[in-house]
Chains A and B, each alone.
Chain A
């Protein structure tokens, strides 16, 4: 198994701010990785270090076995789609696609044209005059049709409506199946992408707090659903991440792995068990409020 990304104590400081702090991660070839974290947690800075756009103040970044900084061989295999991508003022949508065809050796123009149709991007309009969603769609199309062996999507969906976001997820998954590559998806719409992710990296305050396969992560907790008093009895003495109540029915999300005995006991009690929401786990791990408050939904 080969590592596409490998960092060793990678750090980026700005004065007193540790934007990326001592990060050592390894991402294997072929897979969709979620890079999750709050705004300002260091997601974008980490990706900028991995794509040679920013300079580390400590540690090393290795991409395809080499340093990405000023390395044309590495960078021609990397596509970095970011919400804030700048284009020259006079650029129209089609100019961005033309430029992408020059920059990415595996560019698929037919696929790009198909996506333009699907996302309804007005390619003859100056990018500056496009709506937020249309600008995001241009980035998404560049990221998908570039078919770069390593693709970063940094919050690619701003301004995209739910339909367009779903379209993005669907196309990403379908194209990934046909052309396996490594995709790093940075987002805070965690539950939306949860099912796409095979591996989850959570960064908080510049530090890596979770670096686990998504399946294992989901087993870190469970949601118990059933009659309120039986749910309460079951969760007594456990750490509760989240509670919801609707009439006599309650659901509670608890932290920690359930043993087979726990599961059997729950079933015997007539309780339903569901996997924990990735979002709640991440919120808890990154210092969000404990969601233990009663909510009458």
Chain B
């Protein structure tokens, strides 16, 4: 064994193995997130599947117990179905854990904060886009099967009814991105400032919400807001949601760039 160890003055830089390209490093972060496929690729669909199965069961019970004409009316009522919320809420939680668990893990394995955040954002957008494709297919099947034989709506609930399949895909995509980046915002604030960060974030959200409500009330703008929303339609609202999503992503990066992966 060599015994070359002594303290030396600054020596010329050692040449470490060649640095990889940015694209390589971003794709590495994505693959690290997907090392275990369970949390991001399997569990979301188990959760959605369960919500869907329960919904189908309820429809079946209603259909069997109501006279035919009432059954049809009940089918119309399902256009306000919120079953898809199950996967959206799960993706929000997945957005939190993609930060809270994977940030300390990946930094421990030599990933930089910058590469981590770019890779994680790319993953979130890809998951939102991919999941939106599946949800759009389910919406199409729902339409072709006349609401799974019950005249009911889950994937074609009014919120997602954009008039075209591309529009529906876009609504699913934007809404999921919104939920994931919201989760990431909470995850990064926790990573950077722990509980205090979350408390400040909640207070900020509370103040902004109350402020907006007060403003709308004093200026008597509620009807105008309602008209504006209805006028926008699902695609318009989804497009506007990209603005807060981008703001959340920016805030998340500001929090993460000086975060330390301590437990």
Nearest-CB residue, chain A, relative to B113: A70
Set of chain B residues within 8 Å of A78, measured between Cβ atoms: 110
Given contacts A70-B114, A87-B101, contact A2 B109 (CB under 8 A): no
- Tell me if A213 and B5 are in contact (CB < 8 A): yes
B142 near A: Cβ within 8 Å?
Answer: no
Set of chain B residues within 8 Å of A189, measured between Cβ atoms: none
A211 near B: Cβ within 8 Å?
Answer: yes
- Tell me if B110 and A31 are in contact (CB < 8 A): no
Interface residues of A in 266-285 (CB under 8 A from B): none
A154 to B200, CA, bound (A): 34
A286 near B: Cβ within 8 Å?
Answer: no
- 0 or 1 for each of A71-93: is its CB under 8 Å from B? (1 = yes): 11111111110101111111110
- Tell me if B35 and A76 are in contact (CB < 8 A): no
The SS class assigned to the B binding surface is loop
- Number of B positions contacting A (CB below 8 A): 44
Set of chain A residues within 8 Å of B17, measured between Cβ atoms: 76-77, 105-106, 149
B19 near A: Cβ within 8 Å?
Answer: yes
Given contacts A72-B115, A77-B16, A90-B36, contact A6 B108 (CB under 8 A): no
- Tell me if A82 and B108 are in contact (CB < 8 A): yes
Interface residues of A in 4-58 (CB under 8 A from B): 4, 6, 25-31, 33, 48, 51-55
A149 to B114, CA, bound (A): 23
- Tell me if B38 and A90 are in contact (CB < 8 A): yes
Nearest-CB residue, chain B, relative to A85: B108
- Tell me if A25 and B7 are in contact (CB < 8 A): yes
The listed residue (A2, A98, A99) touching B14 by CB distance below 8 A is A2
Q: Which segment, of B24-32, B71-79, B178-186, faces chain A?
A: B24-32
A99 to B36, CA, bound (A): 9
Binding site for B on A (CB under 8 A): 1-4, 6, 25-31, 33, 48, 51-55, 62, 64-66, 70-80, 82, 84-92, 95, 98-100, 102-106, 149, 173, 176-177, 180, 198-199, 211, 213, 215
Query: Would you list the 10 A-B pairs with minimal beta carbon distance, nearest first?
Result: A65-B13, A73-B19, A31-B5, A199-B5, A75-B110, A77-B16, A2-B11, A86-B104, A88-B101, A3-B11
13 sampled A-B residue pairs with Cβ under 8 A: A31-B4, A33-B5, A52-B112, A65-B14, A72-B112, A72-B115, A86-B261, A92-B36, A103-B28, A149-B14, A198-B5, A213-B6, A215-B3
